């Protein structure tokens, strides 16, 4: 995805075809941006303006009241404290889950590429397939087990689940990256007398910057955006941001405050959008690594 | 007693046997070069000595101690890798000191050792750089420094010069030779380049398909190759290997080499072949190096047996210091090495001098040398 | 040639000084917890689910086997058939349209477009944001009372009708629209990477051979993208079967059960309708479908790499 490559087809033909190409690309861009645009402008309008005005028109008198309401006072279920608590839930779930799954993935990748022992291929294949299972196939047992060990309806339970079902991907990412890491460096360090963790910490980790970023972003986005696990294994005040947002938007009591809904949605989207804007190309690399496997 | 001993070494990957029972030894201060085409098992053998690969059978001894079960870091060896394997995130000084750091050598001592080695290799000015800021030759030097600083019992080199350009390779080759002479260390060196093997070794081991073909001094391996494979592999341009028939003419035992457009060449038997070692009418392969076929003036005056043969010149290849002249015999090209100022043109018939003192005979069925 | 068997005399010495120290076992010890967790949480739990699908579990699991009863009950449910019909419609349209649009956008973007750096992230951002979030906007946009239909009426086109979201016959197509919107950029990125990976000399050769731009794409470029088509197909099919947020955020499965998918069916039968064994049976069928697509693909990918 990086930059121009000589192999690209030469920009063909007449000015007319150039205009058509640019026109098509811009129309698609507009279509792709519309939902985000509607969300943003609606979140800045008053309810009256929404009722009387047009969906696509810019706010006449922009207000951040809906954002404040969404953050602090909107009612979700029986409580009216906004989404701030759920935002905090998501943070407390995402940070440890991303950290643990990334660390384990990098250690697994190291072992699977540099220490070939009987069965390592089978082990990797089993971990790889785990990336692709529909989670419905494990939903009931997970719910039972979390309940049994006392992690039901808790952030800890969600962290555990996200670590376990993220391990396949993080291992895959690091394995593919370390596969290209020169084995001679590991051998040189062995002759120099370095042990397993010394090699990992002193030789491998300092060279792992890019793949750590890819993995962290991929895991962060996936876990922050998760809805299925959140709605299955948490309830009440313990649910993550996405579940709370869905509850807020789909509540059927009282007047529908579209502007507050949209503001809440924007707040829920901000962390991942921010990551995407800052480190988009790493995000794409993660997606592709998960899709075409390097 | 030998300093490094390898006894019946076997290495299998699954069912595939990549080392088929290697027996080798090397005296203290010796320079052993393992040479052979890619896939012959030479690098696997080196890894086994280093302890980076486990072995399936046999024994490896260093200074009388069996090291089979010792981890690489406990064998007191140092290794220079083909890719140099410099740690990219560390400076040159840190790279050189890493092994001592892992062994718990205190920092002041490490610094002194690094300075000393850097001075020996004339790279004190590079110590604070990172590998990515170094040229190929400089990286090579750092890799050697990392090995030298440890002062190990045995140095292992895994094709250390193959990533350098031709000129630098020759310079570094000389440098390694000097290093060996000045330190007197025991060295095992892997290469696929037979010139490197000839120039560096005190002992050459030629491998093919996981089996030793010949072990000997460079001169032995070059002049008296044990079989057709070694004859063909060592030397550039390689040895002329020509099918011949043992015949007797007028009671003189000799070799007959048919030619396409001329009468067959008759050469008397090389003096090193015992009479009776070759049966009349037997098929043989005669091996004769290009430098043993010259113009008559260039022939070795001390040789007991030089045969002069007239032949048609097919191709002339001036190579600067010499001129290679190609003719034909036994359906193959025969390359002769003549003086650079020899006045030879394609299509001429000129006399060629065959120095049979330097010729060797092989049995085509067993491929082994005769006599 | 010496014997390949270790001399028995060596063996006691090997025992006395074992090479197999902690350091040698460390790699396996480090990998073991992750592998154990995956064995239990993935493969163990799958077996557990399969077992449950052969019982009469309702709200709580029971473990007495009752054969294929749950599967029979599953396939007797009209809403399961609805889910199957919907996943067929959704899956086919989603995969085909995403690939077609993604390829088109990739080819257009590959014409030395100066603002490519701006456009590419715009096409891809839907993949980075939860559909629970963007679904809020989509729902509003597709709702006849607030969105597109109202906007058109406001602009004076009063006969304009767009009520697919609340029309039981058409609601599934709104799911397709939203799904395509979300995944097309990802497809585009895959195809663009494929296009950039094509050897430039082949294209120069085609130009010298006098091939038009159209012919070059049809005869050389698109055939060279075959592996990308395969990857895109596999990934999209797999995402289609797992789609869950999309339906929940947009229609909640409605109107009625018009947009039920196997994923939502499984959830509601298991957790809200207390028909755990039927839910488990539907999960097993989902898993088998995914496995039928993914396993051959992974097998061939891992094999190719070995060579």
* CA–CA gap between residue A242 and residue A264 (Å, rounded): 10
Span C195-200, average pLDDT: 85
β-partners of residue B174 are none
The pair of structure tokens assigned to A21 is 């190409």
Asked if pLDDT for residue A131 goes beyond 90, the answer is no
Domain boundary among B186, B206, B233: B233
Mean pLDDT over B269-282 rounds to 82
* Window from A27-31, A269-273, C152-156, C220-224 with minimum mean pLDDT: C152-156
Q: At which residue do the structure tokens 């990533």 appear?
A: B163
pLDDT tops 90 at residue C34: yes
With contacts defined as CB-CB under 8 Å, which chain C residues touch B56?
Answer: 4
What is the ipTM for the molecules in this complex? 0.84
B262 and B315 fall within a common domain = yes
The mean pLDDT of chain C is 84
User: Is the separation of the CB atoms in C142 and C162 below 8 Å?
Assistant: yes
Residue from the list C3, C13, C21 with its beta carbon closest to the beta carbon of B8:
C3
All structural domains of chain A, each given as residue ranges with its CATH number in brackets, are 15-63 (no CATH), 84-252+269-292 (1.10.3720.10)
B-chain residue closest to C6, CA distance: B57
Positive or negative: CA dihedral B222, B225, B230, B236: positive
Q: Do A13 and C213 touch (CB under 8 A)?
A: yes
- What digits encode the pLDDT tens for the residues B336-352? 999 988 888 999 999 99
pLDDT digits (tens, 9 = 90+) for C225-243: 988 898 899 889 988 998 8
Residue A3 has pLDDT above 70, yes or no: no
Confidence of residue A254 (pLDDT cuts 50, 70, 90): low
Judge whether C5 is closer than 8 Å to chain B, CB to CB. Answer: yes
A192/B73 touch (CB, cutoff 8 Å), yes or no: yes
Residue C15 has pLDDT above 50, yes or no: no
Asked whether residue B217 falls in the same domain as residue B248, the answer is no
Asked if B135 and B11 sit in the same domain, the reply is yes
Residues from chain B that touch A181, judged by Cβ atoms under 8 A, are none
Chain C partners within 8 Å of B55 (Cβ): none
Residue C3 has pLDDT above 50, yes or no: no
Q: Which of B202, B233, B264 is the last residue of a domain?
A: B233
- Residues B198, B304: one domain? no
pTM: 0.84
Q: Is the pLDDT of residue C210 over 80?
A: no
pLDDT per position as a tens digit, B232-255: 999 888 999 999 999 988 888 889
**Residue numbers of the domain that contains B291:** 240-370
Band of the pLDDT at B130, cuts 50, 70, 90? very high
Place of tokens 């480190």: A279
Please name the helix (run of DSSP H) or strand (run of DSSP E) that holds residue B205, with its range, or none.
Answer: strand B203-208
Domain C72-306 class in CATH? mainly alpha
Taking contacts as CB-CB distances below 8 angstroms, the residues of chain B near A192 are 73, 98-99, 102, 146
* CATH number (domain holding residue B73): 3.40.50.300
Average pLDDT, chain A: 86
* C101 φ, ψ (degrees, to nearest 5): -70, -40
Chain-chain contact of A191 with B103 (C-beta, under 8 angstroms)? no
Of residues B35 and B120, more confidence is placed in B35
Residue B163: pLDDT band (50, 70, 90) is: confident
What does the pLDDT average to over B307-320? 91
The band of C285, judged by pLDDT with boundaries at 50, 70 and 90, is very high
Name the band, by pLDDT with cuts 50, 70 and 90, for residue C20: low
| pLDDT given for residue A10 in this prediction | 46
Peptide bond between residue B237 and the one before it cis (omega within 30 degrees of 0): yes
- CB contacts, 8 Å: A185 with chain B: 85-88
Pair B205, B275 in one domain? no
Q: How far apart are CA B6 and CA A143, in angstroms?
A: 60
Residue B251 and residue B143 share a domain: no
**What confidence tens digit (pLDDT) does each residue in C126-154 have?**
988 888 888 888 888 888 877 788 888 87
Domain harbouring B272, CATH code: 2.40.50.140
Q: Does C292 touch chain B (CB under 8 A)?
A: no
Residue B215 shares a structural domain with residue B262: no
Is the pLDDT confidence value at A4 over 50? Answer: no
Is the model's pLDDT at C300 over the cut of 60? yes
Mean pLDDT of the A1-18 span: 54
Per-residue pLDDT at A290: 64
pLDDT digits (tens, 9 = 90+) for A150-163: 888 889 999 999 99
Distance of CA B252 to the CA centre of its chain: 37
Q: Tell me what pLDDT residue A291 has.
A: 61
Residue ranges covered by each domain of chain C = 18-53, 72-306
Whether residues B121 and B161 fall in one domain: yes
pLDDT at residue A7 is higher than 50: no
Q: In angstroms, rounded to a whole number, what is the distance separating the alpha carbons of residues A29 and B185?
A: 69
Percent of chain A's residues with pLDDT above 90: 44
Rounded distance, CA A10 to CA C204, Å? 10
Q: What is the mean pLDDT of residues B177-198?
A: 92
Neighbours of C16 (CB within 10 A): 8
Which band of pLDDT confidence, cut at 50, 70 and 90, is reported for residue C16? very low
- State how many domains chain B has: 2
Question: Is the distance from CB of A144 to CB of A157 less than 8 angstroms?
Answer: no
| Residue contact C46–A245, C-beta within 8 A | no
Select from B196, B216, B233 the last residue of a domain: B233
Task: State whether residue A23 sits within 8 Å of chain C by CB.
Answer: no
Comparing C-alpha atoms, which of B7, B11, B26, B41 is closest to residue B211? B41
């Amino acid at each position: 995805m990086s930059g121009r490559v000589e192999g690209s087809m030469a920009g063909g033909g007449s000015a007319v075809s150039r205009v058509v190409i640019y026109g098509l690309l811009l129309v698609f861009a507009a279509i792709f941006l519309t939902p985000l645009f509607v969300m943003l402008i609606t979140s800045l309008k008053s309810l009256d303006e929404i009722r009387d005005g047009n969906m696509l028109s810019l706010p006449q008198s922009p207000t951040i009241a809906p954002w404040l309401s969404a953050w602090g006072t909107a009612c979700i279920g029986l409580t009216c404290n906004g989404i701030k608590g759920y935002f905090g839930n998501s943070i407390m779930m995402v940070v440890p889950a991303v950290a643990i799954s990334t660390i384990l993935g990098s250690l697994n990748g190291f072992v699977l590429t540099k220490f070939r022992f009987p069965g390592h291929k089978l082990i990797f294949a089993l971990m790889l397939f785990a990336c692709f299972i529909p989670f419905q196939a494990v939903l009931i047992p997970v719910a039972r087990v979390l309940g049994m060990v006392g992690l039901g309806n808790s952030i800890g339970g969600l962290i555990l689940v996200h670590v376990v079902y993220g391990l396949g991907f993080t291992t895959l990412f690091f394995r593919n990256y370390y596969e290209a890491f020169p084995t001679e460096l590991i051998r040189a360090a062995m002759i120099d007398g370095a042990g397993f963790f010394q090699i990992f910490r002193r030789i491998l980790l300092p060279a792992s910057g890019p793949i750590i970023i890819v993995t962290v972003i991929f895991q962060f986005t996936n876990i922050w955006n998760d809805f299925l696990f959140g709605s299955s294994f948490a309830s009440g005040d313990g649910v993550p941001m996405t579940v709370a947002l869905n509850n807020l938007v789909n509540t059927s009591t009282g007047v529908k405050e579209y502007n507050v809904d949209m503001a809440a949605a924007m707040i829920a989207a901000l962390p991942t959008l921010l990551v995407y804007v800052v480190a988009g190309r790493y995000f794409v690399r993660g997606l592709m690594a998960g899709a075409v496997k390097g | 007693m030998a300093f490094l001993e390898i006894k019946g070494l076997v290495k299998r990957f699954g069912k595939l046997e990549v080392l088929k029972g290697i027996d080798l030894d090397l005296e203290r201060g010796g320079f052993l070069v393992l040479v052979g085409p890619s896939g012959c098992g030479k690098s696997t053998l080196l890894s086994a000595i280093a302890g980076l690969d486990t072995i399936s059978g046999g024994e490896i001894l260093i200074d009388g101690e069996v090291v089979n079960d010792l981890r690489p870091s406990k064998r007191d060896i140092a290794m220079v890798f083909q890719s140099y394997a410099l740690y990219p995130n560390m400076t040159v000084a840190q790279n050189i000191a890493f092994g001592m750091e892992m062994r718990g050598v205190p920092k002041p001592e490490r610094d002194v050792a690094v300075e000393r080695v850097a001075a020996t290799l004339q790279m004190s000015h590079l110590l604070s750089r990172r590998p990515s800021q170094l040229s190929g030759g400089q990286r090579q030097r750092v890799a050697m420094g990392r090995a030298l600083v440890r002062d190990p019992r045995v140095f292992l080199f895994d094709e250390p010069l193959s990533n350098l350009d031709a000129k630098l390779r020759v310079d570094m080759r000389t440098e390694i030779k000097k290093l060996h002479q000045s330190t007197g260390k025991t060295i095992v060196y892997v290469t696929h380049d037979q010139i490197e093997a000839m120039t560096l070794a005190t002992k050459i081991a030629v491998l093919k398909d996981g089996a030793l073909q010949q072990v000997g001094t460079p001169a032995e391996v070059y002049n008296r190759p044990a079989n057709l494979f070694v004859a063909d592999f060592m030397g550039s341009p390689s040895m002329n290997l020509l099918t011949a028939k043992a015949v007797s003419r007028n009671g003189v035992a000799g070799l007959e080499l048919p030619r396409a457009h001329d009468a067959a060449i008759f050469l008397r038997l090389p003096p090193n072949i015992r009479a009776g070692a070759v049966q009349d009418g037997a098929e043989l392969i005669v091996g004769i190096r290009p430098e043993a076929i010259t113009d008559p003036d260039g022939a070795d005056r001390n040789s007991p047996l030089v045969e002069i043969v007239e032949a048609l010149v097919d191709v002339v290849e001036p190579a600067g210091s010499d001129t290679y002249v190609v003719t034909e015999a036994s359906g193959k090209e025969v390359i002769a090495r003549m003086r650079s100022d020899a006045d030879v043109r394609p299509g001429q018939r000129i006399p060629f001098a065959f120095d049979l003192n330097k010729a060797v005979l092989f049995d085509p069925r067993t491929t082994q040398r005769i006599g | 040639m010496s014997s390949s068997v270790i001399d028995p005399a060596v063996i006691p010495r090997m025992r006395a000084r074992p090479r197999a120290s902690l350091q040698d076992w460390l790699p396996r010890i480090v990998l073991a917890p992750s592998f154990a967790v995956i064995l239990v949480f993935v493969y163990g739990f799958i077996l557990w689910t399969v077992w449950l699908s052969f019982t009469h579990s309702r709200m709580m699991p029971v473990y007495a086997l009752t054969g294929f009863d749950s599967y029979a009950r599953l396939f007797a449910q009209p809403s399961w058939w609805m889910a199957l019909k919907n996943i067929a419609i959704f899956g086919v349209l989603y995969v085909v349209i995403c690939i077609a649009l993604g390829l088109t956008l990739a080819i257009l973007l590959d014409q030395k477009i100066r603002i490519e750096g701006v456009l590419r992230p715009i096409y891809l951002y839907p993949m980075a944001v939860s559909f629970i979030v963007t679904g809020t906007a989509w729902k509003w946009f597709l709702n006849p009372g607030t969105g597109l239909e109202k906007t058109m009426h406001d602009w004076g086109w009063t006969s304009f009708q767009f009520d697919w979201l609340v029309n039981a016959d058409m609601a599934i197509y709104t799911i397709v629209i939203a799904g395509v919107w979300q995944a097309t950029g990802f497809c585009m990125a895959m195809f663009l990477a494929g296009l950039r990976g094509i050897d430039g000399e082949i294209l120069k050769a085609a130009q010298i051979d006098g091939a038009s731009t159209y012919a070059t794409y049809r005869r050389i470029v698109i055939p060279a993208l075959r592996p990308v088509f395969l990857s895109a197909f596999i990934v999209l099919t797999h995402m289609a079967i797992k789609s869950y947020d999309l339906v929940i955020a947009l229609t909640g499965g409605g109107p009625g059960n018009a947009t039920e998918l196997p994923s939502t069916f499984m959830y509601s039968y298991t957790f809200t309708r207390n028909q755990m064994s039927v839910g488990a049976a539907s999960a097993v069928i989902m898993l088998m479908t995914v496995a039928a697509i993914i396993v051959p693909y992974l097998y061939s990918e891992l094999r190719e790499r070995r060579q």
